[in-house]
């Protein structure tokens, strides 16, 4: 601790001691921070630990965990906070003293060899790379994305907290260069048989997807695969793309690519409700594309009559129905009758539980989602049966949570929202925040039923059920000790080809006592019926397909020679390599050590 850039703050309680260290301007990959935090908690005498960047949201999370002290409040967003709660001050000091050794051990495990320091160096190493994946902190992401476009590359911009003005500027630049900009806040895509960011392993096929949603895109891809069909290309756009300001710039570009793609027969479009004028304009282009198009603007408008109609346009109510209609359009000789049916078929082998135990009287639903679009769809499906549901991402005209960290009545919270992810990993990679929230809800006597989504695939947590299942078991036990029953519903979004092992994930969750579903809309039907007091013996949901599923090609390990450059999360590099893609990982660091004033000065001097 001789480094003058390191400031100490130590607060002691008896018998435990909480010690903290602030490292000014220290940047590390969020995955590294997660692994460091886990390593600290495994040290002798350490009861809890926090390793986060000094953002306001992270300070609030530390406060909820009992790890915040006055000195930590001085940390800036670019500062690294290290906190340990130890059985003794000696154990705490030893843990903090070993941080550099833990970081050095992590670096020694990297087997990449040379890592370029800049995008220009990376492109010289891998000139055939057409894509650059960017997952650096939002305040730096625009500059990196602009450099990628200047190098004539397509961009997947995973980073959030990018300004609206910067998003528009980047997409205008991309359009001028005929390069696609997916994002910001774009977590999922599938290009030439390779999943980018968080993506499930699905069959190659004839259905193309454009989605202003990560988990929405994943849910549709999984549904298509489950029904025996496959995906040609799947492009993300970022959640704001269909807003009045952004004008669907990426969605229109992606639609044009799929229109010209000879491997795509049917196109599916998924988004939260777009701006009215944007919806009209975009659907006019979709109607003119010459291919069947399935539209799911989740809950948009009170009736489909508000939207342009055309013979090739078909509307879906849920994400799973979007997949079903797209499959019908590619496989059914009588596709029109298929998509107009009020009861759409699903896979015969898909047999979720037929009911969920009704919660106890005068208790509430608590939905803890990692997927923002799944959370939004839950609000949409439940709005008639549970009309007063609060959320940090409510439906238009819905009720906003006063504090996203505290539930009020019926609550559905998107734990992947900005309030939870600034300076820390997304909950699809790090379960810590959701485990803490799950146990917090279990101790609340007003909690009657908990819903979780568990999203599998490349780029996501390697074994989420190994952490969520024990937490579910503990939550159920906590409620039982107070004389309460606590049903827990888990919706698993994944395929039999995903690296986590779909069956293994489901069995762990079932063994913990969860009701496990593979369809999100089925799960929401079950939740609605549970709160209506309808229990065992009362089937719900859509009828099952009796004739099985259509034949399709198996999942290809790598359908083409795909090359990319990754800047940010190392897990995305690992994911690309696991799928057989060529990838170069850039050893990126914030300019001027994260000092924005100095960085701006250096930019002006150039």
How far apart CA 236 and CA 242 sit, in angstroms, is 12
- Residues 155, 241, 402, 431, CA torsion sign: negative
DSSP secondary-structure letter at 194?
Answer: E
Six-digit token string for 240: 């704001």
Say what the pLDDT of residue 438 is: 96
Which range in 172-176, 303-307, 591-595 is most confidently predicted, on average pLDDT? 172-176
Give the pLDDT of residue 11: 40
Question: What digits encode the pLDDT tens for the residues 461-499?
Answer: 999 999 999 999 999 999 999 999 999 999 999 999 999
Nearest of 110, 91, 95 to residue 32 by alpha carbon: 110
Is beta strand 131-134 parallel, antiparallel or unpaired with respect to 80-86?
Answer: unpaired
Query: Which residues, at least 6 apart from 224, have a Cβ–Cβ distance to it below 8 Å?
Result: 202, 203, 205, 207, 230, 231, 323, 326, 327
| Entry pTM | 0.84
> What's the per-residue H, E or C state across 277-294?
HHHHHHHHHHHCCCCCEE
More confident residue, 509 or 99: 509
Q: Average pLDDT in the 179-203 region?
A: 95
3-state secondary structure 3-38: CCCEEEEEEECCCCEEEEEEECCCCCCHHHHHHHHH
Name 480's Cβ contacts closer than 8 Å, sequence gap at least 6: 486
In this structure, are residues 374 and 358 in contact, taking their beta carbons and an 8 Å threshold? no
pLDDT band at 600 (very low <50, low <70, confident <90, very high): low
- φ, ψ of residue 266 to 5 degrees: the values are -130, 145
Let me know: does 225 contact 196? Beta carbons within 8 Å.
no
Is the pLDDT confidence value at 187 over 50?
yes
**pLDDT (tens digit per residue) in 411-464:** 999 998 877 876 667 888 889 889 999 999 999 999 999 999 999 999 899 999
As a whole number of angstroms, the distance between CA 324 and CA 301 comes to 22
pLDDT at position 244 over 70: yes
pLDDT cut 70: percent of the chain above it = 83
pLDDT at residue 2 is higher than 60 = no
Query: Distances from the Cα of 264 to the Cαs of 235, 259, 314, 555, in angstroms?
Result: 13, 8, 17, 17
Q: Of the candidates 173, 56, 114, which has an alpha carbon nearest to the alpha carbon of residue 424?
A: 56
321 band by pLDDT with thresholds 50, 70 and 90: very high
Give residue 450's pLDDT. 98
pLDDT bucket at 109, cuts 50 / 70 / 90: low
Residue 368: count of CB within 10 angstroms of its CB:
25
The closest of 417, 487, 507, 491 to 456, measured between CA atoms, is 491
* Nearest residue to 447 (alpha-carbon basis) of 418, 417, 416, 413: 413
Q: In this structure, are residues 294 and 268 in contact, taking their beta carbons and an 8 Å threshold?
A: yes
What are 32-57's pLDDT values in tens digits?
787 888 889 889 999 998 888 887 87
Mean pLDDT over the full length of the chain: 85
Q: What is the pLDDT of residue 25?
A: 75
Express each pLDDT in 265-319 by its tens digit: 999 999 999 999 999 999 999 999 999 999 999 987 544 446 667 899 999 999 9
Could you read off the pLDDT of 521-572 as tens digits, one per residue? 999 999 999 998 865 543 333 333 333 333 334 555 444 589 999 999 888 9
pLDDT in tens, 114-143: 889 999 999 999 999 999 999 988 889 999
pLDDT for the residue 343 = 36
Q: Dihedrals φ, ψ of 538, to 5°?
A: -110, 95
Express each pLDDT in 58-78 by its tens digit: 888 788 788 888 888 888 877
Residue 597: predicted pLDDT: 60
CA dihedral 131, 134, 140, 141 (to 10 degrees): 70
pLDDT of amino acid 319: 96
Q: How far is CA 571 from the centre of its chain?
A: 14
Q: For residues 569 and 32, give the distance between their C-alpha atoms in angstroms, rounded to a whole number.
A: 9
Give the Å distances, CA to CA, from 514 to 28, 465, 489, 565: 36, 11, 6, 40
Cβ-Cβ contacts under 8 Å for 153 (sequence gap 6 or more): 123, 129, 130, 131, 132, 179, 565
Task: Identify which has the larger pLDDT, 161 or 448.
Answer: 448
- Domains in the chain (CATH in brackets) are 6-108 (3.30.1360.30), 125-346+577-586 (3.40.50.261), 364-531 (3.40.50.261)
Q: How far is CA 105 from CA 58, 108, 133, 147, in A?
A: 26, 5, 26, 32
Query: What are the respective helix, strand and coil percentages of the chain, to the nearest 5?
Result: 35, 20, 45
């Amino acid at each position: 601790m001789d480094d003058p850039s390191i400031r100490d703050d130590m607060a002691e309680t008896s018998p435990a001691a909480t010690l903290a260290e602030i490292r000014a301007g220290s940047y590390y990959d969020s995955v590294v921070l997660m692994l460091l935090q886990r390593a600290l908690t495994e040290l002798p005498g350490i009861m809890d630990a926090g390793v986060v960047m000094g953002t306001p949201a992270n300070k609030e999370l530390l406060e909820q965990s009992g790890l915040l002290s006055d000195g930590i409040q001085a940390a800036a967003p670019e500062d690294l906070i290290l906190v340990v709660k130890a059985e003794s001050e000696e154990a705490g000091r030893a843990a903090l003293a070993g941080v550099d050794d833990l970081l050095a051990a992590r670096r020694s495990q990297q087997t990449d060899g040379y890592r370029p320091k800049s995008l220009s160096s990376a492109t010289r190493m891998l000139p055939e790379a057409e894509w650059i994946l960017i997952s650096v902190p939002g305040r730096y992401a625009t500059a990196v994305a602009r450099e990628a476009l200047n190098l004539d590359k397509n961009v997947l911009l995973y980073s959030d907290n990018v300004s609206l003005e910067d998003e528009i500027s980047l997409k205008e630049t991309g359009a001028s260069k005929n390069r696609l900009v997916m994002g910001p806040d774009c977590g999922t895509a599938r290009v030439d048989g390779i999943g980018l960011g968080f993506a499930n392993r699905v069959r190659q096929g004839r259905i193309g997807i454009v989605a202003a949603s990560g988990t929405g895109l994943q849910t549709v891809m999984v549904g298509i695969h489950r029904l025996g069909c496959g995906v040609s290309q799947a492009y993300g756009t970022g959640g704001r793309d269909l807003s009045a300001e952004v004008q669907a710039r990426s969605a229109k570009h992606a639609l044009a690519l799929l229109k010209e793609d000879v491997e795509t027969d049917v196109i599916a479009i998924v988004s939260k409700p777009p701006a009215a004028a944007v919806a009209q304009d975009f659907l006019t282009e979709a109607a003119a594309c010459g291919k069947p198009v399935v539209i799911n603007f989740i809950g948009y408008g009170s009736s489909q009559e508000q939207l342009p109609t055309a013979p090739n346009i078909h509307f879906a109510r849920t994400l799973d129905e979007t997949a079903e209609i797209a499959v019908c359009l590619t496989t059914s000789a009588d596709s029109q009758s298929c998509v107009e049916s009020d009861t759409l078929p699903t896979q015969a082998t898909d047999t979720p539980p037929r009911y969920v135990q009704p919660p106890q009287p005068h208790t509430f639903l608590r939905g803890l989602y990692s997927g923002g679009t799944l959370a939004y769809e839950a609000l949409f499906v439940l709005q008639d049966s549970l009309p007063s549901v609060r959320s940090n991402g409510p439906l238009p005209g819905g009720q906003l949570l006063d504090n996203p960290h505290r539930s009020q009545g019926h609550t559905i919270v998107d734990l992947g929202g900005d309030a939870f992810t600034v300076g820390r990993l997304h909950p699809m990679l790090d379960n810590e925040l959701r485990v803490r929230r799950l146990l917090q809800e279990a101790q609340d006597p007003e909690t009657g039923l908990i819903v979780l989504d568990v999203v599998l695939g490349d780029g996501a947590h390697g074994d989420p059920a190994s952490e969520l299942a024990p937490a579910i078991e503990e939550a159920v036990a906590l409620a039982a000790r107070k004389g309460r029953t606590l049903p827990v519903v888990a919706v698993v979004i994944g395929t039999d080809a995903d690296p986590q092992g779909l069956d293994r994930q489901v069995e762990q969750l079932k063994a913990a006592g969860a009701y496990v579903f593979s369809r999100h809309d089925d799960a929401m039907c079950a939740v609605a019926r549970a709160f209506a007091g309808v229990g065992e013996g009362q089937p719900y949901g859509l009828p099952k397909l009796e004739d099985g599923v259509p034949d399709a090609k198996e999942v290809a390990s790598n359908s083409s020679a795909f090359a990319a450059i990754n800047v940010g999360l190392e897990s995305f590099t690992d994911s690309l390599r696991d799928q057989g893609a060529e990838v170069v990982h850039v050893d990126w660091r914030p300019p001027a050590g994260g000092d924005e004033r100095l960085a701006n000065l250096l930019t002006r001097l150039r």
